[in-house]
Amino acid sequence: MISTLIFDLDGTLVDTAPDLALAANLIRTARGMEPLPEAELRPFATRGATGLLGAALGVEPTDPEFPALREEFLKNYAANFTVKSRPFPGIPALLEALRQGGATLAVATNKQAVFASAILRDLALAPYFESILSSDSPGCAMKPRPDTILRTLETLGADPATTIYVGDDPVDLEASRRAGVRAALVDWGYARVDLHALDADVVVLSPEELLRYLLSEGFGPAR
């Protein structure tokens, strides 16, 4: 029985890669460089500013110029975070089916809270979720630390035994295991590894397949 589903955001619920790539390319064009193809930057979206700055400009967090570039990236992103970002196909229907079935839904993401909440609001997904926690929320930290998942369980009063975390990256799997909840990995996100080679409880190719899995396990209100 599954009564609580906690979702990752980027690469799981919403395709945020186009706007993240734009934020990085604006830094390049401001310095007279050609923008990189979105497809080239897309795999790095799961790592946020760190991944995009590394891919677009070859800088690492240890480089002296990184803090200023990160601020520039975040400023660019703040002006463009829902220009092209959209829910992945089938996600709104999945969330509606889960809500109608009585499941409790939440988001636990590495994305900064100011962006996570605004994206979910602007894309009309926020009403589905009873909790939205980010890595910079009080008491939380970046995955693979399990803090956002553990805090979500605490906030909802949810039982780890009837909770599943849904993400698109190996760090989501590690965070799930450390939090003591089941893990579902989706194959439509940004991971650059073979998710089927990992030890997730299930790997799905579409929201429809995820719903079929949940139906087979049984989902609904906590008893």
How many domains are contained in the chain?
A: 2
Q: Is residue 104 located within the same domain as residue 164? A: yes
pTM of the model: 0.95
132 CB-near residues (< 8 Å, 6+ apart)? 106, 107, 109, 113, 116, 117, 120, 126
In the set 10, 147, 168, 172, the catalytic residue is 10
Is the distance from CB of 4 to CB of 217 less than 8 angstroms? Answer: no
Is the distance from CB of 42 to CB of 25 less than 8 angstroms? Answer: no
Residue 223 pLDDT: 66
In the set 8, 19, 147, 168, the catalytic residue is 8
Q: Catalytic site residue 10?
A: yes
Q: Catalytic site residue 194?
A: no
223, part of any domain: no
pLDDT above 90 coverage of the chain, percent: 97
Mean pLDDT confidence for 44-71: 96
Show which of 78, 98, 123 is a domain's final residue: 78
In DSSP terms, 163 is beta-bridged to: 4
Q: Is residue 69 located within the same domain as residue 98? A: no
Q: Is residue 122 located within the same domain as residue 201? A: yes
Show which of 58, 78, 98 is a domain's final residue: 78
> Which residue carries 């480089």 as its tokens?
63
Confidence class for position 221, pLDDT limits 50, 70, 90? confident
Residue 102 pLDDT: 96
Confidence class for position 122, pLDDT limits 50, 70, 90? very high
Burial 121-135 (b: 16+ CB within 10 A, else e): eebebeebbebbbbb
Please write the tens of the pLDDT for every residue from 129-177.
Answer: 999 999 999 999 999 999 999 999 999 999 999 999 999 999 999 999 9
Please write the tens of the pLDDT for every residue from 69-94.
Answer: 999 999 999 999 999 999 999 999 99
Please give the residue range of the domain that contains residue 23.
Answer: 17-78
- Say how far residue 87 (Cα) sits from the centre of its chain: 11
Residue 220 pLDDT: 82
Q: Is residue 108 located within the same domain as residue 196? A: yes
Q: Is residue 33 located within the same domain as residue 115? A: no
